[in-house]
Amino acid sequence: MGRTGRAPVAYESGFAAHRAGVERLLASYRAIPRDATVRLAKKTSNLFRARAKNTAPGLDVSGLTAVIAVDPAARTADVAGMTTYEDLVAATLPHGLAPLVVPQLKTITLGGAVTGLGIESTSFRNGLPHESVLELDVLTGAGEVVTATAEGEHRDLFRGFPNSYGTLGYSTRLKIALEPVEPFVALRHVRFHDLRELQTAMDRIITDRAWDGESVDYLDGVVFSADESYLTLGRQTAEPGPVSDYTGMRIYYQSIRHDGPAPARDRLTIHDYLWRWDTDWFWCSRAFGAQNPAIRRWWPARYRRSSFYWKLVALDRKYGIADKLGARRGEPPQERVVQDIEVPIERTADFVEWFLAEIPIEPLWLCPLRLTDDGSTTDGRPWRLYPLEPGRTYVNIGFWSAVPTVPGQPEGAANRAIEAAVTRLDGHKSLYSDAFYDRAEFDRLYGGDVYPGLKHTYDPDHRLLDLYSKAVQRK
């Protein structure tokens, strides 16, 4: 609400439309048979693990896809749970504001990023998306919509919702904090020839929020090989000047590479910076030939985006196209290795060196993060189902490809080896993709001491899958 004490008409109409959407959601919940698992009625997803089969009708979320209201004075936004970050950013940037963390892909939803975690180049100073949530409305497994805040009646749900992946309920509305942004981002791509030098530099930048006399507002990196890696340092600026465009023939990740000792410099609009990875789904568009100049020239611009590449992946998974083509060439089936993991920053080089030696995938994405919550009010574990330590810096490492299977090895051999390496280095793995943990290990890593109590309170009849079933068993 604005400072006048009266909500603007657009504000009121936004909430009215949202309330109608919630009513349709509740009606659809009541229509699902009592013995059927409750799920969302959506055809697309940003998850890379198999979805459980369910023939029952899903929840109607058609009225939960809009930005409800933006309050520029308070620097907050009320957002429906199924709203994409593409739409959210389009609503906030005209006010010179942006979410504190904007995950890299346009069709990630705000609710999805909170219940399934998200990350980006502001995470070294702003933490994870759920840390900017001020208030959360959740349709629980019991069919009730409750409002959860850090100190309110449902504070246990507020703390337990992140990383629950829809197994406690679905967010219908989130009130989030926003931050001011400048129109442009000035970039420096700093090359390293040694992974431990990169690790040391990253740690120093996170502490100083600066590098070589310039402030750093955004920080991520790319590893191409053990002797070629980069940190990209972004600085907000209002200074006008030429900007690059990576939505056409030029490809962003290729622009990072250079041979000289001085950083390569670049400039993007804030809009294009936030979506710099989406056009080519980081570098994964190469799997479809979209980086071949001869093909790219004829590839419609509206299909140069992650959501379209994801549809191609879904078709491949449904029909096994890649494996069938590989079999014709005498190649073994491929094991999908699509993961994001976090290790403490001091173990970054250890993990990357192990990975490059054992798993034939490159490049790798690096993104440092620190929780903003110090844990002082929550026994030192502010986010119960993904218990990163407050005050400790981690580095997210993302890798998204496939490797040849080896006869005689168990299903998911490469992924299992990665899980073991991450655990050995005191890290965690995101659960949006394939996981192979046994139940005891999973419970130890993902809040098994508190999850049963949350499940009993907010989904007592188990209308929703439990977290282990959804993330690992997928049945």
pTM of the model: 0.93
Residue 350 has pLDDT above 70, yes or no: yes
243 or 327, higher pLDDT: 243
Q: How confident is the model at residue 43 (pLDDT cuts 50, 70, 90)?
A: low
- Can you give the pLDDT at residue 56? 62
CB 365 within 8 A of CB 123: no
Query: What is the pLDDT of the chain when averaged over all its residues?
Result: 91
Residue 1 has pLDDT above 60, yes or no: no
- Can you give the pLDDT at residue 444? 94
Helical H segments across 81-134, by residue range:
85-92, 110-116, 123-126
Give dist(CA 132, CA 157) in Å, integer. 16
- Can you give the pLDDT at residue 474? 59
Percent of the chain, pLDDT > 70? 93
What domains can be seen in the chain, in order of their start residue? 9-180 (3.30.465.10), 184-276 (no CATH)
- Can you give the pLDDT at residue 54? 56
Residue 49 has pLDDT above 80, yes or no: no
305-325: pLDDT as tens digits? 999 988 888 887 777 877 777
- Can you give the pLDDT at residue 373? 84
Strands 169-180 and 133-140: antiparallel
**Look-up: residue for tokens 């507002």?**
217
- Can you give the pLDDT at residue 145? 97
Residue 2 has pLDDT above 50, yes or no: no
Terminal C-alpha separation, the chain: 44
Beta-bridged to residue 285, according to DSSP, are: none
- Can you give the pLDDT at residue 4? 43
Q: Average pLDDT of 41-58?
A: 58
